Structure 1
Amino acid sequence: MQQISLAPVDGVHITTLMDNSSDALLPDEGLVRRWGLNGTASPLAVIPAELAEEKQSYDFLRAEHGFSAMLEAGGRRLLFDTGITRDGLVGNLDRLAIRPDSFEAIVFSHGHFDHTMGLNGLAARLGPTHVPVLLHPDFWLRRRIVSPDRTLEMPTPSRSAIEGAGFTIAEERQPSFLLDDAVLVTGEVDRTTPFETGMPAGHQAFRDGEWAPDRAVHDDQAVVLHVRDRGLVILTGCGHSGIINIIRYAKRLTGVSRLYALLGGFHLRDGPVVAETVAALVEEAPRVLVPAHCTSWQAQQALAAALPGAFRPNAVGSRFEL
């Protein structure tokens, strides 16, 4: 594999705009600034409250089963995923006083609806726009989950609707760059570990006129930065490629051997893969570890126990200043 040159940055801020957890009581913790009663990331939003003596109250960030994050480097902003509901992401942007028109580009980790459907509300707020949207060609696949008692067909992003809203779609299987070569979008990740086997067989995609197992979720991709003198920062959506596969692929691509921070969904649920992944992460020795979204409580406990100095709980509004 030919290495690519990823321009180092002096630092990056990653703010969680949507996740499964909202905790207004988390305090600041070193490089993490929290939003809420005990944090300093942003003041609390005030809303009308007719039944209060002062006729006002405080608004709090919403959590949902979805993921979205803002990446800031060199004074420029990218949006990574958009959560699941029409009003979830845009509502939290309002509460955090972040202008929706301040993003230079949107990167989608993959096509699952809990990472994409918040684009509906963002598009309505922005109006006609030419913001580029980076994604893998398999992003458009129809998908469903088949279990013994039911079949759930997932909402599928619409190319015509997204283009009709004015977004400029950029499809790429291979790695690509943003922000003057400072941000790497991995594209399709090589699968090399024996223990990261992907989704259950009940996860299916519609290809060539029929439903078939889609364990690999080939459109799963991450974004990577190189913080000068510290190492790689990797942000994932769900980590369907396998979180260790993603780390090793990013290292091979960039030639940077040190992992500084790993944030996002790890899609670790249960079974032997949890212990094997935790053991591999201990060897990688990240300084900052933020498992989010689709990382089970069992896996979070195992990661916190194995890497107590690196582990940081995530919550909506947390800003990681790396």
Structure 2
Amino acid sequence: MVLQLKTVDKLNITFLVDNTIEWFTKLPPGFTHEAPLHIMKHGHARDPVTGIPILEFEKYCCGAHGFSAVIETEIEGSEPQLTLFDTGPESLSIARNIASLQIPVERITNLILSHWHSDHSGGILSFLRLRQASSPAPVQPCVVDVHPSRPIARGIAPPQVGRIIGQLAADPKFEEIEELGGVVSKHDEGHVVAEGTVYVSGEIPRVTSWEQGLPGSVRWVEDEGEEGKWVPEEHIMDERYALVDVKGKGLVIFSACSHAGIVNVVRDAIDKFKRPIHMIIGGLHLATPDLLDRIAPTVDFLAHKIQPPPTYVLPMHCSGFDVKVALQRELGEGCLLAGTGIRVKVLGDEEGEKGIVVPRVEV
């Protein structure tokens, strides 16, 4: 299935939900902040006296603890394919931000859920309702691509506390998704979607010594004939990443939370596709005090152990401040502080494709 991935000529990314709203950071060519999108493209009410567009903040995006991105892939001569990668934590932020960014939800035909955590799955039903309401005529069904191992419940038991302090909100049930027009597609192995332009991984190999999952993660299980109970589940084995291969640029990787470890993700992508890494996007999950010792080897790998190194790293969502500082120190302008509402355009390069090399990974 991996060999069916097609190289695309154009890739557009819209960050629909993220913890951060970022309006002012310097961005390279191809990246656009939210405010210019509204002022130049969406139209604003104008002050009747000055004639200047008014920044109507109630129509702008909001941040939320979660992640969601619209991935638009295009091969020259074919229709663009729109794929939604995760949906944020709840119904409000995704609905507001879809309206703010004027996302054509009826054109999104694939939804990829990276893993069963509600800060990524919480907006699924809201999104499907918006699709149904987007047109008076029936819309094309949306394939909802999920790992089959949906948990009954997941909880948080920080090692320093020694007990379960909270339970995540329930993920949508398969039946609920189907009732709203979603077509549930269960996969635990790598495959392609969006007419072969987006790869969704299977189980991510855990080979890096310091990337040991999410400490304190627990899962509720109910074995037949026994009472339900909480069991440790630090490795979150249902987590998957997605990627797109852009002509002349290489792989653009979407790793929503990196519970498997971003180094494990990158190594798996390079091993499977033998293509350079153009961009790494998403949560690196290195924010909490008990994970800070993972920052140095992670940054060292991304900055020095891959040749050629990634062109850009976008640490978002659950990455944390410290790893952003460390990545900027090593990568300079190659580390970008992206957030909700930012759009990215990656154009393929026919001439650049001739110079593509297989990356070398130092173990």
* In structure 1, C-alpha distance between the alignment counterparts of 2:34 and 2:293, rounded to whole Å: 35
Q: Which residue of 2 aligns with 1:245?
A: 264
The alignment status of 1:143 with 2:154, answered yes or no, reads yes
Deviates more, 1:145-154 or 1:302-311: 145-154
* In structure 2, C-alpha distance between the alignment counterparts of 1:11 and 1:203, rounded to whole Å: 38
Indicate how the Cα distance of structure 1 residues 111 and 48 shifts in structure 2: closer, same or farther if over 3 A, else same. farther
Q: Which residue of 2 aligns with 1:154?
A: 168
Q: How many residues align?
A: 315
Correspondence list, 1:9-20, <5 A: 9-20=8-19
- Among 331, 335, 348, the residue aligned to 1:311: 335
Q: Structure 2 counterpart of 1:159, which letter?
A: F
Q: What's the TM-score, normalizing by structure 1?
A: 0.90
* In structure 1, C-alpha distance between the alignment counterparts of 2:155 and 2:183, rounded to whole Å: 27
* In structure 2, C-alpha distance between the alignment counterparts of 1:3 and 1:82, rounded to whole Å: 25
Summarize deviations over 1:276-305 as a string: whole Å, max 9, x none.
100010122100110100001011111111
1:224 is displaced (CA, Å) by: 1.1
**Structure 1: runs of 5+ lacking an equivalent:** none
Indicate how the Cα distance of structure 1 residues 45 and 159 shifts in structure 2: closer, same or farther if over 3 A, else same. farther
Summarize deviations over 1:14-53 as a string: whole Å, max 9, x none.
110010011333455312111115x68964665899xxxx
* In structure 2, C-alpha distance between the alignment counterparts of 1:41 and 1:178, rounded to whole Å: 34
Q: Structure 2 counterpart of 1:272, which letter?
A: D
Note if contact 1:26-1:36 (Cα within 8 Å) is conserved in structure 2: no
Note if contact 1:5-1:254 (Cα within 8 Å) is conserved in structure 2: no
Summarize deviations over 1:108-163 as a string: whole Å, max 9, x none.
01111111111232122223862110011223442011243752111122222112
Note if contact 2:2-2:190 (Cα within 8 Å) is conserved in structure 1: no
Q: Structure 2 counterpart of 1:289, which letter?
A: V
- Among 315, 319, 329, the residue aligned to 1:291: 315
Q: What's the TM-score, normalizing by structure 2?
A: 0.80
Q: Which residue of 1 aligns with 2:218?
A: 204
* In structure 2, C-alpha distance between the alignment counterparts of 1:276 and 1:245, rounded to whole Å: 12
The alignment status of 1:111 with 2:126, answered yes or no, reads no
* In structure 1, C-alpha distance between the alignment counterparts of 2:209 and 2:174, rounded to whole Å: 35
* In structure 2, C-alpha distance between the alignment counterparts of 1:13 and 1:156, rounded to whole Å: 31
Q: Which residue of 2 aligns with 1:87?
A: 92
* Identity level (%): 26
The alignment status of 1:179 with 2:179, answered yes or no, reads no
- Among 286, 291, 305, the residue aligned to 1:268: 286
Q: Residue 271 of structure 2: SS of its match in structure 1?
A: helix
Q: Residue 96 of structure 2: SS of its match in structure 1?
A: helix
* In structure 2, C-alpha distance between the alignment counterparts of 1:197 and 1:265, rounded to whole Å: 16
Indicate how the Cα distance of structure 1 residues 64 and 3 shifts in structure 2: closer, same or farther if over 3 A, else same. closer
Q: Residue 105 of structure 1: SS of its match in structure 2?
A: strand
Note if contact 1:199-1:240 (Cα within 8 Å) is conserved in structure 2: yes
Correspondence list, 1:17-166, <5 A: 17-26=16-25, 28-36=27-35, 43=41, 46=44, 58=56, 59-74=59-74, 75-127=80-132, 130-147=141-158, 148=161, 151-157=165-171, 158-166=173-181
Note if contact 1:67-1:82 (Cα within 8 Å) is conserved in structure 2: yes
Deviates more, 1:260-269 or 1:150-159: 150-159
1:220 is displaced (CA, Å) by: 0.9
1:3 is displaced (CA, Å) by: 6.3
Indicate how the Cα distance of structure 1 residues 302 and 139 shifts in structure 2: closer, same or farther if over 3 A, else same. farther
**Structure 2: runs of 5+ lacking an equivalent:** 75-79, 133-137, 347-363
Q: Residue 271 of structure 1: SS of its match in structure 2?
A: helix
Q: Residue 106 of structure 1: SS of its match in structure 2?
A: strand
Q: Structure 1 counterpart of 2:176, which letter?
A: A
The alignment status of 1:281 with 2:302, answered yes or no, reads yes
Please provide the CA RMSD for this pair.
Answer: 2.5
Q: Residue 23 of structure 1: SS of its match in structure 2?
A: coil
Q: Residue 137 of structure 1: SS of its match in structure 2?
A: coil
1:244 is displaced (CA, Å) by: 0.7
Indicate how the Cα distance of structure 1 residues 45 and 96 shifts in structure 2: closer, same or farther if over 3 A, else same. farther
Which entry has the higher C-alpha Rg, 1 or 2?
Answer: 2
1:60 is displaced (CA, Å) by: 1.8
1:309 is displaced (CA, Å) by: 3.1
Q: Structure 1 counterpart of 2:7, which letter?
A: P
